[in-house]
Amino acid sequence: MGPSCLRRAVPLALMAATLSACSGGDDGRSSVTVLAAASLTTAFEDLEAAYERAHEDVDLVVSTGGSPSLAAQAAAGAPASVLITADPESMQPAGEAGVLAGEPASIATNAVTIATPTDAPGPVVDDAAGLADDDLLVALCAPEVPCGRAAEELLTAAGIDAEADSLELSVRGVVTRLELGEVDAGIVYVTDVAGSDGTLRAVVTDAPDTVGLVRYVAAPLEARPGGAELVEFLLGAEAQGILAEHGFGAP
Amino acid sequence: MTGPRRRRPPAALAVPALLAVLVLTLPVLGLVVRAPWTDLPSLLTEPAAREAIRLSLVVAAAATVLSLVLGVPLGWVLARVPFPGRRFVRVAVFVPLVLPPVVGGTALLFALGRQGLAGRLLDDWFGIVLPFSTWGAIVAATFVALPFLVLTVEAGVRSLPQDYEEVACTLGAGPWTVFRRVTLPLIGPSITAGAALAFARAIGEFGATVTFAGNLPGRTRTLPLAIFTALEQDPDTALALGVVLLAVSLVVLVALRDRLRGPR
């Protein structure tokens, strides 16, 4: 190796040393990962803070996404402690794969609603029938995800023949398109409207309150420890209070 | 030292090189091994699968045609016309290559979306709304495919000796005639290669499409989006559609075989 080679090797070695030093630097807390349905994103900001206050040795890591893809990740052995899906049906693939370390427990309920941007750039949607208007841009959840199934139920019950312009794989996709004003209407959870700081407005339908409901279930996973404790926390008074504050219904 | 005797590569190079080959081939092997070969015909003739395949071909073909119409002139201009800001334009051509597609889609949304800079005007003046339409998917695919064509054509034009063009000029041909009758035929192979690369990039486009154009069967749900959606519930369909895209890649590689052949 000539001197010019050495000149290059030294910074590389230094870099490698720094990198390995970084990866070792944790603050002694053990990390507990939870895979949570996308509609829980905002609520989990508060839930995470509360859980970490109660368990100072735990760093809660929240990974959100569409329920079926989270269940698929869990089924494939994702290194997480808890799986939360927006309906029991989405949990099934994980159950069948044998990765659950306990029975799924109901932690909350939610309901879907038609929503529209408050400062609508396009046509204003005042009633549910407006969703059937072909000129309207409508975003719905895909039927593969819980909010899509609930949305279909709501549309059927309200007798609306809505034509979607985009089918999103998580409710957050619909919320974003509404908040950006790229679509005129969509179906999201009531908690999304409540957490939108007034950028979204719910549109009332004739459908009874009993349709378009989802029930969140949480289960500890075999892959990592600490799951049962977190599920227990979610069922407790403090977590239930936080969920209620965000507009979720009791399990 | 210079004899034909083959030298043993040092282990420090051979081992990482072998690992690199594994990194490149293992995922493809995984797809091929796990693909539902016996159910392939029935999975691919499902209406949803056929729709995604048809839409992907339409979108990729349209994006390739758009790339040809816009990219060949730009490639030529970059190679032959010195103008102020040429470096800036070349950087702009590279942007979609290095930008994560999802960022490209976000950028497209804020530029051409209904609330976007130019999109607002498109909507107000012509009533054109690109997101959630097949044209939106075509725009997203063109955004990512165009650089491949421009850069290949530019390299092709640069590698031409200017003698032919100059001779044609002295014989009285105007610049447009020179381009059409001399340059264009000579860079034919570059254009074909660029078009093949652009088509391959366009048909595989996912991030910009799902962000900008949305996800609706028959309108914007191209093969990659259909694969992503199918993975939620029906992995076998996702694998079957993956095989289709793998086949498309192979066809493109065959089309490019002359360029890929390394020195002996």
Q: pLDDT 10s per residue in chain A (251 long)?
A: 444 444 554 454 544 544 444 333 356 788 899 999 999 999 999 999 999 999 999 999 999 988 998 998 999 889 999 999 999 999 999 999 999 999 999 999 999 999 999 886 666 777 767 777 778 889 999 998 999 999 999 999 888 888 899 999 889 999 999 998 889 999 999 999 998 888 999 988 777 878 899 999 999 999 999 999 999 999 999 999 999 999 999 99
Q: Which residues contact A106 (CB under 8 A, 6 or more apart)?
A: A215, A216, A217, A251
Is there a contact between B113 and A167 if contact means CB atoms under 8 Å apart? no
B261 pLDDT above the threshold of 90: no
Query: Can you give the pLDDT at residue A170?
Result: 87
Please report the number of interchain residue pairs, chain A to chain B, with beta-carbon separation below 8 angstroms.
58
CA distance B82 to B67: 22
Average pLDDT along chain B: 91
Percent of chain B with pLDDT over 70: 97
Q: Please name the residues between 184 and 213 in chain A that touch chain B, using a CB distance below 8 Å.
A: none
Q: Of A237, A194, A234, whose CA–CA distance to A62 is shortest?
A: A234
Query: Can you give the pLDDT at residue A208?
Result: 81
Do residues A143 and A152 lie in contact, with contact meaning Cβ atoms separated by under 8 Å? yes
Query: Can you give the pLDDT at residue B116?
Result: 87
Residue scoring higher pLDDT (A144 or B152): B152
- Distance between B109 CA and the closest CA of chain A, angstroms: 9
Q: Of B224, B211, B54, whose CA–CA distance to B130 is shortest?
A: B211
Is there a contact between A166 and B115 if contact means CB atoms under 8 Å apart? no
Q: Which residue has the tokens 């091929």?
A: B32
Query: Can you give the pLDDT at residue B2?
Result: 52
Q: Which of A72, A137, A182 lies at the smallest CB-CB distance from B109?
A: A182
How many angstroms from the chain centroid is the CA of residue B141? 8
Query: Can you give the pLDDT at residue A192?
Result: 94
Q: Which of A125-134, A194-203, B54-63, B102-111: highest mean pLDDT?
A: B54-63
User: Where does the pLDDT of residue B4 fall: very low under 50, low under 70, confident under 90, or very high at 90 and above?
Assistant: low
What phi, psi does B189 have (nearest 5°)? -60, -40
CA distance B209 to B131: 9
A180 has a chain B CB within 8 A of its CB? yes
Q: Of A200, A190, A203, A207, whose CA–CA distance to A133 is shortest?
A: A203
Is there a contact between A137 and B232 if contact means CB atoms under 8 Å apart? no
Q: Which residues of B touch A122 (CB under 8 A)?
A: 114
* Average pLDDT of span B8-17: 92
Token pair belonging to B123: 């909507």
Percent of chain B with pLDDT over 90: 72
B44 pLDDT above the threshold of 50: yes
| Mutant choice from B233, B236, B237 vs A, greatest count of A C-beta within 10 A | B233
CA distance A149 to A132: 18
Query: Can you give the pLDDT at residue B204?
Result: 93
* Average pLDDT of span B229-256: 89
pLDDT 10s digits, B64-92: 999 999 999 999 999 999 999 999 999 99
Least CA distance to B133: which residue of chain A? A165
Q: Which residues of B touch A121 (CB under 8 A)?
A: 114-115
B106 has a chain A CB within 8 A of its CB? no
For the whole model, what pTM was predicted? 0.81
Structural Rg of chain A based on CA atoms: 22
> Which uninterrupted H or E stretch holds A37?
strand A30-37
Is there a contact between A69 and B114 if contact means CB atoms under 8 Å apart? no
Assign B222 to helix, strand or coil.
Answer: coil
Do residues B198 and A108 lie in contact, with contact meaning Cβ atoms separated by under 8 Å? no
Least CA distance to A122: which residue of chain B? B114
CA angle, residues A20, A25, A26, in degrees to nearest 5: 140
B109 has a chain A CB within 8 A of its CB? yes
A123 has a chain B CB within 8 A of its CB? no
Q: Which residues of A touch B235 (CB under 8 A)?
A: 72
Q: Which residues of A touch B233 (CB under 8 A)?
A: 68, 144
Q: Which residues of A touch B129 (CB under 8 A)?
A: 137
